[in-house]
Amino acid sequence: MARPNNSNNTKHTSTSKLIILLACVALLGIALIVDFLWASSTSYLSNWVIDNKSPPNIIIPKNSPKSYKNSTDKDPKRFLSATFADIDAPQLEWEEMASAPVPRLDGAAIQIQNLLFVFAGYGTIDYVHSHVDVYNFTDNTWGERFPMPKEMAHSHLGMVTDGRYIYIVTGQYGPQCRGPTARTFVLDTKAKIWRDMPSLPVPRYAPATQLWRGRLHVMGGSKEDRHEPALEHWSIAVKDGKVLEKEWRTEIPITRGGPHRACVVVDDRLYVIGGQEGDFMAKPGSPIFKCSRRHEVVYADVYMLDHEMRWKELPSMPKPDSHIEFAWAIVNNSIVLVGGTTDKHPVTKKMILTGEVFRFNLDTQKWSVVGKMPFRVKTTLVGYWEGWLYFTSGQRDRGPDDPAPRKVISQMFRTKLNF
Ligand SMILES: *[C@@H]1O[C@H](CO)[C@@H](O)[C@H](O)[C@H]1NC(C)=O
Ligand SMILES: *[C@@H]1O[C@H](CO)[C@@H](O)[C@H](O)[C@H]1NC(C)=O
Ligand SMILES: *[C@@H]1O[C@H](CO)[C@@H](O)[C@H](O)[C@H]1NC(C)=O
């Protein structure tokens, strides 16, 4: 075989080097994509384990991120993920109560006095619930269970109550990353009767939903593709479970669109807190609408609407937080928020859960961290009764040193709040 001359050889060698380099970059790219797919199929949505262990009754969390620093685990990724975004906070003493009859992710909950009505949600990625479980805060038991209308969405619902009637709007219909429905219902919790309401103009995923000034407001959420943030805001007049108008009215668009936010009305003001832009989407062509991961941006933003009907920006949360639509309670003129998800891990790009209890004091408009949960958890369902803060359901972390999501839980915990 003839040898090429020297200069050619040099050129040839550097070209080969370039090719090898490019191949490495491509392999790295493929590895990253595989990691993404793996993350989407294992750490978030597949590999769900039904939680049926019974841990000890009182859990006092290790609350100091410092305790992970000298971990024997030398993997720097794990070190980063162990501490990423946890805020140091006081210990809270959590008491474990009766577990819900089923585990739930992306369910919904509404408290009416001493009862917590818990709706829908994924049991596993391939199975969604279509019933309501009721928890009684007076005797601390799970009691009644009744079916939802079969046309009602199973996750990513908008939901609010006036103290007797629960209004339920839109959401995802079915398991995995299936499409949404615009169908909308009202439940009379006394008579246990469901009624239809006019469908939303177009369906949404996890829109901010509240009753305000005699009208049911629905805003933001994700559009029909589950991913693109929606800015639209509609309202319709309602009273005592009845709709007083034929159609939804267009209202001032929300400043920033997206799903999974807390939406709270206190003292004639409407607050929209946290949430995100983007979400998992159905894999194109997948017959089961298999979920695949997409870019997400988590918000720390807080917006408020008052009688002027203009959005005003308020002080941001201590850190970005999403998946908190039913994870709040109003306590002594403060909004208390429990768990959620924060910015993804900077290196592994995995979803990072939140394990703090936050407080927004409406008198001072200041945020604080009240304390730590027994573990990090998202889409948890919260109630507050006679000094006790309760949370149940959602998807918890992999352990104290790994904030990525794993088990879908049915457990319920409570802690005494004091402020
Ligand atoms: C971690 O180990 C180093 C060296 O062994 C030590 O100097 C440091 O104080 C330890 N930190 C903690 C938080 O225990
Ligand atoms: C809740 O529990 C209390 C105490 O046992 C009971 O009196 C009340 O009827 C219960 N409420 C419902 C709706 O079951
Ligand atoms: C709320 O305020 C009341 C009256 O001041 C007080 O008794 C109660 O402990 C407060 N609740 C919390 C959770 O701090």
**Position 58 pLDDT exceeds 50:** no
Q: What is the pLDDT of residue 374?
A: 96
Q: Measured from the CB, is residue 417 less than 6 Å from ligand 3? A: yes
Taking the CA of 363 as reference, the closest ligand is 3
Q: What is the pLDDT of residue 349?
A: 84
pLDDT band at 252 (very low <50, low <70, confident <90, very high): very high
Give me the amino acid identity at 336.
Answer: V
**Position 396 pLDDT exceeds 50:** yes
Q: What is the pLDDT of residue 308?
A: 95
Burial 119-133 (b: 16+ CB within 10 A, else e): bbbbbbbeebbeebb
Atom of ligand 1 nearest to the CA of 66: 13
How crowded is residue 52: how many other Cβ atoms within 10 Å of its Cβ? 10
How crowded is residue 203: how many other Cβ atoms within 10 Å of its Cβ? 25
Longest dimension (CA), the chain: 93
Q: Output 252 or 293, whichever has higher pLDDT.
A: 252
Distance 80 CA to ligand 1 centre (A): 16
Average pLDDT, the chain: 86
Q: Measured from the CB, is residue 140 less than 6 Å from ligand 2? A: no
Taking the CA of 83 as reference, the closest ligand is 1
Atom of ligand 1 nearest to the CA of 69: 13
Whether 321 contacts 354, CB under 8 Å: yes
Atom of ligand 1 nearest to the CA of 70: 1
Taking the CA of 114 as reference, the closest ligand is 2
Q: What is the pLDDT of residue 91?
A: 84
Q: Tell me what percent of the residues of the chain surpass a pLDDT of 70.
A: 80
DSSP letters of 172-239? B-SSTTPPB---EEEEETTTTEEEEEPPPSS--BS-EEEEETTEEEEE-BB-TTSSSBP--EEEEEEE
The two tokens of residue 247 are 């159609």
Our mutation pick for probing the ligand 2 site, out of 97, 113, 136, 145, counting the most ligand atoms within 8 A of Cβ, is 136
In angstroms, how far is CA 101 from the centroid of its own chain? 21
> Nearest 10 degrees: CA dihedral of 239, 240, 245, 247?
110
pTM strictly above 0.85: no
The two tokens of residue 57 are 């009754």
Q: Measured from the CB, is residue 136 less than 6 Å from ligand 2? A: yes
Atom of ligand 2 nearest to the CA of 114: 1
In angstroms, how far is CA 256 from the centroid of its own chain? 17
Atom of ligand 1 nearest to the CA of 67: 13
The two tokens of residue 364 are 């001072």
pLDDT band at 287 (very low <50, low <70, confident <90, very high): very high
Between the CA of residue 321 and those of 85, 110, 183, 358, what are the distances in Å? Answer: 11, 20, 28, 10
pLDDT mean over 289-302: 94
pLDDT band at 371 (very low <50, low <70, confident <90, very high): very high
**Position 237 pLDDT exceeds 60:** yes
Distance 68 CA to ligand 1 centre (A): 11
- Measuring CA to CA, which residue among 252, 222, 417 is closest to residue 335? 417
Whether 313 contacts 303, CB under 8 Å: yes
pLDDT band at 348 (very low <50, low <70, confident <90, very high): confident
Q: What is the pLDDT of residue 146?
A: 97
Q: Measured from the CB, is residue 57 less than 6 Å from ligand 1? A: no
Taking the CA of 142 as reference, the closest ligand is 2
Q: Measured from the CB, is residue 143 less than 6 Å from ligand 2? A: yes
Q: Are strands 208-212 and 215-219 parallel, antiparallel or unpaired?
A: antiparallel
Q: Measured from the CB, is residue 138 less than 6 Å from ligand 2? A: yes
Q: Measured from the CB, is residue 66 less than 6 Å from ligand 1? A: yes
**Position 112 pLDDT exceeds 90:** yes
Across-strand partners of 302?
Answer: 273, 314
pLDDT band at 42 (very low <50, low <70, confident <90, very high): very low
Q: Measured from the CB, is residue 127 less than 6 Å from ligand 3? A: no
Q: Are strands 131-136 and 115-119 parallel, antiparallel or unpaired?
A: antiparallel
- Measuring CA to CA, which residue among 35, 40, 9 is closest to residue 286? 40
**Position 116 pLDDT exceeds 60:** yes
Residue 175, CB half-sphere, CA atoms under 13 Å: how many?
Answer: 14
Distance 259 CA to ligand 2 centre (A): 35
Q: What are phi and psi of 82, to 5 degrees?
A: -70, -35
The two tokens of residue 128 are 């969604």
124-153 confidence digits (pLDDT tens) = 999 999 999 999 999 999 999 999 999 999
Q: What are phi and psi of 416, to 5 degrees?
A: -80, 125
